[in-house]
Structure 1
């Protein structure tokens, strides 16, 4: 099950991404964390210290990722003909979560007991000539070719604000948690996300953060209504962890909130046809808007009309592709 954490910058979405990931990993569940934020701090939030994590960034290996994932799909003649929205078809390599394949082997590193992949930071060559969404191409391709199921979790710390709507990536999740502080600015992103998400049937639940009392909680309830799933209270444990200090155990209320998040995810039905329909829709949008001109090809032909990931795993397995 794919989980996105979104919200205003500074709302605590990276902290909550790390908390839920560690909570899931601690229960023994298969889980992968992905840092998809322009500010790459998820490794530190998961407890990494010292030198920078040596995880090869997805954003720097997009061509290699395309070359691997296209497999023997006859609709994709080369990596250059493949864009971030190109959906899988017969012959494509499908992935199992943390499977024994070259993509996971190259990009996954462990922070404690948590497997992590990163998109990578901006560097000097990107400034003024690229947007961060080019870095997210690897994440979009990964999720587009991933066949995951109940009891398996991918937790993605997304870019701040409503930037996720600049691509179809926001439709690739089974559940999106919008982290909101109890302030007017804290809930402003919620309204943007709610309206866009409803158009595509994307599940969004609000998680209140840094709640200090009944007034904060009442404010959130008045602003977001039934979309408020749960909330976390101000945490001395989190502050100590952010300062590099260990301090007992996470507060009981906040542990309960993490359990509520997991229960909400587990209650979601995996809807492969809808997910794939969104993927095809955004691929065709990108093809018409820019990609046909850039590649010199009709990228609508990359869509395999008889293929739905998650419903074609038996076919892929017979073809010898990892699923």
Structure 2
């Protein structure tokens, strides 16, 4: 399953995405976690020190390697230089899988141990001094979108992406790459305003949207959220002493998380599992191609000097068992994990 966490800045989006990742790891599920927020805090929420989080490899810095690997022997892509963030896979492309080893993971991922269970963590990377005033953050998340376009995940496998805050995630087609999107909302007018924006923008794209009510203090808060978001409200989460200790850098064993919060996390996993059963691979591929053609016409053709519509393989559908190149190291031993 591909799962996104979105929400207003300060809503607790990153905290909840990290709790969900820990929950999946505790259930021994294969997980790839991706920090795609402009404020890179997922690593710290998963137990890294600030110094360790700062040394995470940046996906954006390895974009040439990612493009060259994913291109494979696809005859429709003349060179990696003509690939843009929306380039879809086709016959001959290399596809990524959650549990395999490949050069992309080797260069861009770090394996953490969360209570003894391995999780792969990837990050877009923060703004650098050279980026300030001249670069758009959405150009950095292009590497994430390209990887998601080439990733084949099966049931009981999870890719969890902590997205940038607010409605900025609609600056690209990446918002359509997920089986379910969990929107974290506080029980306030500002808290649900992002929900309304997201609901409106996503309406025509079949985005499965579920709301997590966070920082809920009592029945009045729950009633407010029910009135504002209706049946999209999936679970609510209140104060957590475990989370407070984690934010101080002193997390206890995850099994000591409050029972009510563990129940809420299981509800999220159940919703994600259910969403996979409704995945439409053909529509998923069609949306990918549609956004690619829009980007090609808008800026991609001019930037690359090529007609990027030619990259579309009309007979290819991304799905489990899709005909594409498989990394020769797909079944090699997993990299040695490092404790968080």
* TM-score using structure 2 length: 0.91
CA contact (8 A) 1:3 1:154 kept: yes
CA contact (8 A) 2:94 2:326 kept: no
CA contact (8 A) 2:217 2:238 kept: yes
Give CA-to-partner distance per residue, 1:97-145, whole Å, 9 cap, x none: 1312111122111232322011100001111111111110110011110
Answer yes or no: is 1:236 the counterpart of 2:245.
no
Return the alpha-carbon distance in structure 2 between the equivalents of residues 168 and 318 of structure 1: 26
Answer yes or no: is 1:138 the counterpart of 2:146.
no
CA contact (8 A) 2:87 2:292 kept: yes
Answer yes or no: is 1:306 the counterpart of 2:315.
yes
Task: Please identify, of 30-39 and 105-114, the stretch whose mean Cα deviation from structure 2 is larger.
Answer: 105-114
CA contact (8 A) 1:94 1:321 kept: no
CA contact (8 A) 1:32 1:116 kept: yes
Return the alpha-carbon distance in structure 1 between the equivalents of residues 299 and 272 of structure 2: 35
The offset of 1:50, in angstroms, is 5.5
Structure 1 segments unaligned to the other structure (5+ residues): none
Match of 1:33 in 2: 33
CA contact (8 A) 1:5 1:178 kept: yes
Match of 2:133 in 1: 128
CA contact (8 A) 1:93 1:321 kept: no
User: Cα gap change, 1:232/1:77 in structure 2, threshold over 3 Å: closer, same or farther?
Assistant: same
User: Cα gap change, 1:70/1:197 in structure 2, threshold over 3 Å: closer, same or farther?
Assistant: same
CA contact (8 A) 2:30 2:119 kept: no
Match of 1:95 in 2: 96
Task: Please identify, of 165-174 and 42-51, the stretch whose mean Cα deviation from structure 2 is larger.
Answer: 42-51
CA RMSD, aligned part only?
1.7
SS of corresponding position for 1:306? coil
SS of corresponding position for 1:124? coil
Return the alpha-carbon distance in structure 1 between the equivalents of residues 297 and 324 of structure 2: 29
CA contact (8 A) 1:316 1:322 kept: no
Task: Pick the aligned partner of 2:261 from 254, 264, 271.
Answer: 254
The offset of 1:96, in angstroms, is 1.0
Match of 1:265 in 2: 272
Return the alpha-carbon distance in structure 2 between the equivalents of residues 164 and 173 of structure 1: 12
The offset of 1:35, in angstroms, is 0.4
Answer yes or no: is 1:287 the counterpart of 2:287.
no
Structure 1 segment 1-323 matched on structure 2, within 5 A: 1-49=1-49, 51-53=51-53, 54-112=55-113, 113-247=118-252, 249-268=256-275, 269=277, 270-310=279-319, 313=322, 315-316=323-324
CA contact (8 A) 2:166 2:194 kept: yes
Structure 2 segments unaligned to the other structure (5+ residues): 332-340
Return the alpha-carbon distance in structure 2 between the equivalents of residues 278 and 223 of structure 1: 29
Return the alpha-carbon distance in structure 2 between the equivalents of residues 156 and 319 of structure 1: 23
Give CA-to-partner distance per residue, 1:253-278, whole Å, 9 cap, x none: 11110000000000112321111111
Task: Please identify, of 126-135 and 153-162, the stretch whose mean Cα deviation from structure 2 is larger.
Answer: 126-135
Return the alpha-carbon distance in structure 2 between the equivalents of residues 204 and 117 of structure 1: 24
Return the alpha-carbon distance in structure 1 between the equivalents of residues 29 and 250 of structure 2: 26
CA contact (8 A) 1:178 1:190 kept: yes
Return the alpha-carbon distance in structure 1 between the equivalents of residues 65 and 330 of structure 2: 17
* TM-score using structure 1 length: 0.96
CA contact (8 A) 2:24 2:31 kept: yes
User: Cα gap change, 1:322/1:286 in structure 2, threshold over 3 Å: closer, same or farther?
Assistant: farther
Return the alpha-carbon distance in structure 1 between the equivalents of residues 99 and 172 of structure 2: 25
